[in-house]
Each structure stands twice: as C-alpha cells, then as structure tokens.
A and B are shown apart, each in its own frame.
Chain A
Amino acid sequence: MKSKKPEKKPEKQSPKVPGAPRIIIVGEQSMVDEFATVCLKHGYSFQLAYNAPPETRPSFPTFSLKTGTAALRTASVAVELTNTDRVLKQQNLERISKDLAPTAAILSTSVTVSATEQTRWIHGKHRLVGIGYLPGLADAGLLEVAPTVFTPPATLEVVSRFVASIGKAAEIVQDGVGLVFPRVACQMINEAAFAIAEEVAEPKAIDEALMLALRHPRGPVAWAERFGLRQVIAVLEALQREYGGDRYRIAPLLRQMAYAGEWWK
C-alpha cells in the first residue's frame, strides 16, 4: 500500500506591516480571532495562541505559548482573552509575563477575575490592565480599561495609545469583576432566563418587547446568543463569588441551556 504523501500546507501570510509594533493575542479562539481581525484592520502584525487546538483551520499565524518565547520577546502589547477558564487564564498570564519585555503592556479581560487579582499571577505587575471584553464586541467603538493599584501612568499611556490605534476610545473605569457592560448585560440575560423559566413569556417575545417598548438595540436572548452561554455563566459566577448573596444567583435554566450547549431555540 502506498503511503499517502502529507499535504503540504500553504504558508500562511503573516499580516506584517513594516515598522508596526507586534501584538500577541492569546486566549479563547472566538475572541482571539475577532480581536486579531480588528488589529489587522488597523495595520498591526500579530501572532496568536489559542487555549485549545482550533476547531477550524486558523486564518492567522499561531504559536504555542510553551515554545513561542521569541514572539513574546518582540511584542510591545499582549492581549489575554480568556473568561471561562480561570486556571488556563492564570497559566497564560504566567507564561506571557515571563518573556514579555518589561516595557510592554498586558491587556487582560477582567470580566471574570479582577485585574488586581490577576496581578498576583504575573511578573511585572505594573504591566497589566483589565479590559471589558466578551465575544461579539469587537466592533464596539469603546473599550473599558481598568488599571490596578500597580499601574503606572506610563503603562496606561501605552494602553490608551494602543486602544486608540485600533479605533476605540479607552474608558478608564475602576477595577471590579464584570466591569460595566458585561455585568449589566449578563444580569439582564439572567433575569430573562428566570422569566422564561417561570413562563412569563416566550424568549422571542421578551426580545421583541424590549426592542419595541424601550427601543433596546437587541434583547437579552439575542445578547446571550452573541456572547455564548458559557461566557454569561462565567461572568455571573464571578459576580456571585465576588459579592456573595442572592443578587447574582444564576437562573437554573441558564445552566441547563449551557449544559445542553445552546440557548433557547
């Protein structure tokens, strides 16, 4: 039997722009790809590392965090986008911070772990700021940025310049789990899930009601579809962990739908 020749993979074109600073983007594939697309649009060259082997063939050049020390050494900004796995997020940040230049900045989602807590995991605490990011928000013209007590003005300056350069305004907020938009949106989704479970109305009717009566741009069911239920639950669990009490109790229906792998159809 003839052995089949391995197909030669075409060389991936690294979207390099001469002179542009290099960005490292690490984390959950959907968010990493979205963020990379924004960076590409604004002329950045970047390298990506996914938390898990990609389900589809990646469109951009990837590297492994375990071996890709060269990519890290030359980067001026690292973006860490993991919300649903705290252990993995900690491992990613530990690896990034080990090889990243002391003057480089780390932007890390802080919707499920506060930025201040994340600084405990890294070398060079001064480099890290939190950001508010969930899947589906790549096109938003604003990014919530949460400095920590360790963040010097120089880091904030690097971060603000970078955020502006990818077409977004940096809104500097205080560090706190969920920050602003993810916290409010996930609470609305949770409330909708309680109302659906109690058969107050059908999921579609809930979205329609809010859009027509209050002119909301989309309803909570549509937001949940956009973010993904695992993300929503991760934010709510983090809020529950942080604040305790009943306020952030997760609707059992939301968990059931997450276990089932889809939002209400």
Chain B
Amino acid sequence: MSTSQTIFKHIGIVGAGSTGAALAQMAAVAGADVLVYDINDTVLRRAFERIKTDLRRQVQQNVLTADQMSAILGRLRSRTSVADLSPCDLVIEAVVEDLRVKRDLMKHLDANTKPAAVLATASSALSVSAVGSFARFPERIIGMHFFHPIQSSPVVEVARGSRTNDQTVLAATDLVTMLGKRSILVNDSPGFVVNRVSYPYAGESLQIAGERIATPEQIDRIMKVVGGYEAGPFETIDQEGIDTHLAAARGLSDQFFGDSRYRPHPLLQQMVDAGKLGKKSGSGFVTSEANTSPK
C-alpha cells in the first residue's frame, strides 16, 4: 500500500456517549469540522457539556488559550438526523456494542453519506465484516478500536474487514495520524489483537486463582514484580468492572464458538452474582473489603 495524506474536512461521530464525545473532541482539536449525531437530545447536550468542561480545564492549565477553545467549540455541531452527516468524509460510529444496532446504523450511514466517505465502527469486539455486511459499499467500512482513556491512549487498532479496500485502510490510518496516535493494522478477527492476545493475562490468572495455587493478591504481586507489569490482572479486572470483563469474555468465547482457551472462568460469574463488580461497587477481587477475594 502506498501512503496517502487524506484531508478530513468533515468528520461525523455517531453516538454521543463517553467514547463518542472523546472522539468528537479529538477530531475538533485536530482541526476538522465535526458533526455529532445522537438520537437522544439529552445525551448530545451532556456530551457537549463534557467537552466544554474538559476544554475549560485545559485553558485553566494553560494547555489551550481561550481563543483556541472557542475555535474548537466552533468546529463542533450537534445533529439529530443521519441525513445531516452527508457532507462527512469519514464517520465513526460509537454506539452500543450490539451487532443488530450497529448493522442497522451502518446501513443508514451507507445510504446517507457520499460513496467516497469512509465508515468506521469503533467496536472493541464485534466483527467489522459483520457490522458492514448489509452495506452497498462494504469496501469503505473499517474498524477503529480506540483504547481507554481515549484521548491519551497512544494507539488505535485499525481493523480491516474482509471486503475493506486499501484506500479505506489508508484513510483510517491517516485519521489516526491526524489525531496524534499510532495505528496498529490488524485483520478482522475476534478481539482483534489486544483483547485476544492479552486475554490469558486475566484468563489464566483466574484459572490459577480458581485452582487456589495463589490468591489474586499474590498473582498481582508476582505479575508486577517478576513480569514488570504496571497493574496486576486482578487490579485490571476490578478497574474495568467484573461484569464488563465477564461480558467481554463471553463475547470472545462466543465468537470462537466456545473454544476452551477463551471460556470465562466461573469465578467471574460468582463475583457478579454477589454484587462484587470491582472498583465501581467498592468490592472486587483485590478491591477494598478484606473478604472479597477467594481464599
């Protein structure tokens, strides 16, 4: 593939939740005119408030000037109809992780945007090819997996679907560069690279804890001291949310048709059933209460 320098004048963001708001802010900061679409007015309003609050904080910290903030906000506009996204050169959808919802949305975007526009899904787990399966122009559909915290994470997985063409891949990597991040090119596969290859970090650790070879606290300590990892596997699960981790593990397992390498450990379900969801509930594998870890 040759290199290109696509210019994105208009970028569309669909879904104004926390991921959508962060993407919109980054694109506006990078100089694009951004149209943010959500079916829910309240969600849209909240997203803009969140962006304003964050930009104001940056002004207070002298990261931005007040003029720069005004210019960025001037480049952001809210929209409540998909048809309004027609001028966009690239649209990223960041709606709920539900294949049916994303597939329907992609169909609408496909019908309401110019054929040359790139359509990206920000899904962290769903197949790019499946999301774009009903599109008239599936060659322009691509996956862009952003990592949390979205604004400061230095990398984006750019996932090529089975029908994505080279031009779309180049455009997506150009956007990643424009956002000041690095692209990792991957082929469409369950969990892409990061979620799949890192899966044993938590999955095998859960297996070891389940066999009572070591406690979650010990496993975290061993992985940090011997391996040099910044956070232990159980700290990571607690931070992510045990229910969220279980849902992601289930998704990966389903996509691999139940392959035992990806089977979620029953400990996850036990913790969820007990209402121990990690940091957000104040109790998890290594969070807070002394009696939360399996002994």
Contact residues of A with B, CB < 8 Å?
A: 132, 137, 140-142, 144, 169, 171, 173-176, 179-181, 183-185, 187-188, 190-192, 195, 198-201, 205-206, 208-210, 212-220, 245-247, 249
Contacts and interface: CB of A to CB of B under 8 A. Distances in A.
Interface residues of B, number: 44
A255 B155 CA distance: 31
Interface string B207-239: 010011110001101110111111001000000
Given A142-B226, A191-B261, A213 B221 contact: no
A255 B47 CA distance: 50
Per CB-CB distance, the 9 closest pairs between chain A and chain B, nearest first, are A187-B200, A217-B228, A212-B155, A142-B225, A209-B184, A173-B214, A140-B226, A200-B189, A176-B213
Interface string B183-218: 011110100111011111101110010011110001
B30 to A, nearest CB: 19
13 contacts: A137-B226, A174-B213, A180-B208, A180-B218, A188-B197, A190-B200, A199-B187, A200-B192, A205-B186, A210-B193, A210-B198, A217-B228, A218-B228
Contacts of A175: 213
Interface string B272-284: 0000000000000
B187 A205 contact: no
A174 B194 contact: no
Contact of B261 (A179, A220, A247): A247
Interface in B126-177: 147, 153-155, 157
Q: Which of A171, A190, A209 has the most CB of B within 10 A?
A: A209
A176 B211 contact: yes
A184 B221 contact: no
B67 interface: no
Contacts of B227: 181, 184-185, 217
Contacts of B193: 195, 200-201, 205-206, 209-210
B194 A210 contact: yes
B201 A209 contact: no
A175 B208 CA distance: 11
Interface of B: 147, 153-155, 157, 182, 184-187, 189, 192-194, 196-201, 203-205, 208, 211-214, 218-219, 221-223, 225-230, 233, 259-261, 263
Contacts of A247: 260-261, 263
A173 B218 contact: yes
A142 to B, nearest CB: 4
- Most interface-central of A169, A181, A245 (chain B CB within 10 A): A181
A216 B261 contact: no
A188 B198 contact: yes
Given A142-B225, A184-B233, A191-B197, 4 more contacts: A132-B222, A198-B187, A201-B185, A213-B147
B98 to A, nearest CB: 23
Nearest to B224: A142
Contacts of A212: 153-155, 182, 184
B136 to A, nearest CB: 28
A183 B154 CA distance: 29
A141 B226 CA distance: 7
Contact of B225 (A140, A192, A215): A140
Contacts of A144: 222, 226
Contacts of A200: 186-187, 189, 192-193, 196
Contacts of B212: 174
Most chain B CB neighbours (cut-off 10 Å) among A176, A199, A213, A217: A213
B194 A209 contact: yes
Contacts of B204: 183-184, 187-188
A133 B148 CA distance: 34
A205 to B, nearest CB: 5
A134 to B, nearest CB: 10
B228 to A, nearest CB: 4
A178 B29 CA distance: 48
A137 B193 CA distance: 26
A206 B196 CA distance: 10
A216 B228 CA distance: 8
A201 B157 CA distance: 10
Contacts of B218: 171, 173, 180
A192 B199 CA distance: 10
Given A142-B226, A184-B204, A214 B261 contact: no
A171 B215 CA distance: 11
B261 A246 contact: yes
A119 B196 CA distance: 38
